[in-house]
Structure 1
Amino acid sequence: MKNLYSLLLGLAGGAWLLASCSSKGDTVTKGTLVTRNDFESVLGWGGNADASITTEQAHSGTHAVKVGPQGEYAYTYIQNMGKMSNAKIKDLTVSAWVWLPNQQASSSLVVAINHSAERGTPVFYKTIVLPTSVKKFKEWQLVTETFALPDSVQATNQLKCYLWGMGTKENVYADDITISVGN
């Protein structure tokens, strides 16, 4: 009887573990994970007013970030490159679930590396243009891109990653954003 109880307890625990590992929030991580945010909390993220955090749409949980007529920039991840890895970072992977209403919803995920917080001169700047990256509209789509960083990127440089509305007249949403680095 004790063995049967242990077996049932183990099966129940395994089922709970599988249920809690939903694929709905899966994103692509390449290298060392730096941050992942489903916007249920915003620790490490900041920038714009709380208006970019919304419950209108969400890929996982109840919150996401949005851009549109009410605001062109969403919450921003800001970190010095040296705090993301002890080794020189050679590439950076950004992965996010995005929701666009149609092809005309201009928007991008931005990766910007500046000399420092005080000196905003760019060292590296790339975007993932969302209307060309997604295949379907009015549903959540995973977008991922790995950016090879130039040798000029230093540990003292500052990374910013954010959703940019680019003047879109309709709401665009992002959720479950992941940033990882490769050395």
Structure 2
Amino acid sequence: MRHLAIGLALVLLTTACSQNGSEKNPAGAAGRVLVSTSFEELEGWIPENPSLTQEKAHTGRYSVKIDPGTEFSLTYINQLYRLSPKRFDKVRLTAWGQLTAPGSAAVVFQITHADQTTAFYEKIDITEVNSWGRIDKVLTMPPVLDPADQVKIYLWRATATAPAYLDDLTLSVEP
């Protein structure tokens, strides 16, 4: 139930963010921001969650983290049709990430069908230790996606044995 409440809060909050972005750019236009968050706007909207933290932030006060006790961070979940009324072939995911010790942690971009099977999966490793490193990846979408398919973005611990952080995440349409 707690995960459902967190997911619902994130969907509502980020849908509002993505709708604001569509007012600035025509639907389907390259460079249109689909999602953008520095995690500041989540305070007070979701139940207390160990992955939302003030320990380190690239900008503002908040970021999300994973550690040995937290396998996955808060997850952004939204249906494709809510992100954009038109199909897009490529998206650019940018963020800032940091490991606090050598290890393996990654930002995951995933699209799942209604039956929870995976339509697309990309793991983007965080490589910077003890400093913020920019993550920038262009992702080419599969040729067949249903508008009701869900986009999921989250930080995954993988084999990291110390905390890792993610902040200032943006997903935008690429030409």
Alpha-carbon displacement from aligned partner over 1:23-44 (angstroms, at most 9, x marks no partner): xxxxxxx62101111111229x
Q: Conserved in 2, the CA contact under 8 Å of 1:67 and 1:164? A: yes
Match of 2:107 among 102, 106, 109: 109
Alpha-carbon displacement from aligned partner over 1:140-180 (angstroms, at most 9, x marks no partner): 11111010011112211110001101131100001111111
> Gapped runs of 5+ residues in structure 2?
1-29
Figure out how many residues of one structure are paired with residues of the other and give that number: 145
Q: Matched residues in 1 for 2:170 and 2:104: separation?
A: 21
Q: Conserved in 2, the CA contact under 8 Å of 1:98 and 1:142? A: yes
Aligned to 2:130: 138
1:130-169 equivalent positions in 2, closer than 5 A: 130-131=126-127, 134=128, 137-169=129-161
> Gapped runs of 5+ residues in structure 1?
1-29
1:1-183 equivalent positions in 2, closer than 5 A: 31-42=31-42, 50-102=49-101, 104-116=102-114, 119-131=115-127, 134=128, 137-182=129-174
Report the TM-score, using the length of structure 1 for normalisation.
0.73
Q: Percent identity?
A: 29
How many angstroms does 1:87 deviate by? 1.2
How many angstroms does 1:93 deviate by? 1.3
Question: What is the RMSD computed on CA atoms of the aligned residues?
Answer: 2.1
Report the TM-score, using the length of structure 2 for normalisation.
0.76
Q: Conserved in 1, the CA contact under 8 Å of 2:57 and 2:63? A: yes
Q: Conserved in 2, the CA contact under 8 Å of 1:72 and 1:167? A: no
Q: Does the residue aligned with 1:41 lie in a helix, a strand or coil? A: helix
Q: Does the residue aligned with 1:147 lie in a helix, a strand or coil? A: strand
Q: Show structure 1 runs of 4+ deviating over 3 A.
A: none
How many angstroms does 1:83 deviate by? 1.1
